[in-house]
């Protein structure tokens, strides 16, 4: 990001403010941050952490897919850098209670934004989608090789009773996959949960929608930085950077977490950071 004094930055996935606070320590005395998060509870969490930076932070509860509208509404210009730290935060796994984790028994919700009760949830997908569509979702968004077997088992279960909790779904997946798959390095439910979360929140569509907006609003010389956590996201970012003539990539290959970082934070093992500068 290379923040300089008095420059303005957008943290489009502000989460728990980890990145934002580091930028604020470097872009003073008058540099600002526009922090966006789709989850209202995350915005509330940020409000309690702002401290002395209150005058230099604007917090917005919205989807980053609406980036241009948000910028116009808050007259946030110029924009010297934009950061996307994709996917869910540790808070979503540990404290949200919305079914993002397969390690605790929670309702199958998986929405980042719970403002509207009629929005799509993981429970709705699992219980109501046709088997063919459900299989497509697990294959496309989760790259799950046992999608057909898992969906077949889901279909059997939902005829008997509705699938409402995370551990109920985990048990179904466990019955569906081969025994050897249950003891692999990655938990056997990971890809199914990933696929449902991505579908519920339209994560890949929103990412494809926002990247052109980000380039448009950046000042010449401004930086666009994206941290992704699975191959589908990274592929979108990689191809966009490659094809956009207004961008010059900073690194040929993505930056990945060091062994030391992975020891401290195991969730960083799949992260890939790509960065580019808008050409003057």
> Which domains are seen in the chain, by residue range?
9-85+203-278 (3.40.50.150), 96-201 (1.10.150.170)
Identify the CA nearest to 193 among candidates 104, 60, 72.
Answer: 104
Q: What are phi and psi of 10, to 5 degrees?
A: -115, 125
Amino acid 148: pLDDT: 98
Find the range with the poorest average confidence among 151-165, 179-193, 226-240.
Answer: 179-193
For the cut 90, the answer to whether the pLDDT of residue 109 exceeds it is yes
For the cut 60, the answer to whether the pLDDT of residue 121 exceeds it is yes
Count CB neighbours of 264 within 10 A.
Answer: 10
Parallel, antiparallel, or unpaired: how do β-strands 33-37 and 218-228 relate?
A: unpaired
Amino acid 257: pLDDT: 92
Task: Work out the average pLDDT over 193-207.
Answer: 95
Task: Work out the average pLDDT over 212-223.
Answer: 98
**Residue 218: which H helix or E strand, with range?**
strand 218-228
Task: Work out the average pLDDT over 8-29.
Answer: 96
Percent with pLDDT over 90 in the chain: 81
Find the range with the poorest average confidence among 57-61, 78-82, 89-93.
Answer: 89-93
Amino acid 117: pLDDT: 52
pTM of the model: 0.92
Task: Work out the average pLDDT over 183-190.
Answer: 88
Amino acid 118: pLDDT: 57
Residues 197 and 57 sit within 8 Å (Cβ to Cβ): no
Residues 230 and 271 sit within 8 Å (Cβ to Cβ): no
DSSP label of 104: S
Find the range with the poorest average confidence among 83-92, 202-211, 244-253.
Answer: 83-92
Find the range with the poorest average confidence among 13-27, 115-129, 227-241, 246-260.
Answer: 115-129
pLDDT band at 93 (very low <50, low <70, confident <90, very high): confident
* Mean predicted lDDT score pLDDT of the chain: 94
d(CA 61, CA 69): 13
Parallel, antiparallel, or unpaired: how do β-strands 247-249 and 272-278 relate?
A: antiparallel
d(CA 260, CA 218): 33
């Amino acid at each position: 990001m290379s923040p300089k004094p008095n420059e303005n930055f957008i943290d489009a996935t502000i989460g728990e403010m980890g990145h934002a606070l580091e930028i604020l320590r470097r872009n003073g005395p008058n540099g600002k941050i526009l922090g966006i998060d789709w989850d209202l509870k995350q915005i509330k969490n940020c409000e309690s952490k702002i401290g002395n930076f209150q005058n230099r932070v604007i917090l917005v509860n919205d989807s980053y897919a609406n980036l241009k509208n948000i910028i116009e509404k808050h007259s946030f210009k110029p924009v010297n850098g934009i950061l996307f730290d994709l996917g869910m935060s540790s808070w979503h796994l540990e404290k949200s209670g919305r079914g993002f984790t397969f390690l605790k028994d929670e309702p199958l919700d998986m929405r980042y934004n719970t403002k509207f009760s009629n929005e799509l949830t993981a429970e709705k997908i699992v219980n109501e989608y046709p088997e063919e569509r459900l299989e497509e979702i697990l294959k496309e968004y989760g790259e799950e090789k046992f999608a057909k077997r898992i969906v077949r088992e889901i279909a059997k279960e939902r005829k008997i009773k509705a699938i409402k909790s995370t551990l109920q779904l985990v048990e179904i997946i466990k019955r569906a996959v081969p025994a050897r798959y249950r003891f692999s390095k990655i938990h056997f439910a990971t890809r199914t949960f990933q696929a449902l979360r991505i579908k519920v929140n339209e994560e890949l569509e929103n990412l494809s929608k926002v990247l052109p907006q980000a380039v448009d609003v950046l000042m010449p010389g401004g930086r666009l930085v994206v941290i992704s956590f699975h191959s589908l996201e990274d592929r979108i970012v990689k191809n966009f950077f490659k094809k956009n003539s207004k961008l010059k990539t900073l690194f040929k290959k993505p930056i990945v977490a060091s062994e030391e970082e992975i020891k401290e934070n195991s969730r960083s093992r799949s992260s890939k950071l790509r960065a580019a500068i808008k050409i003057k």
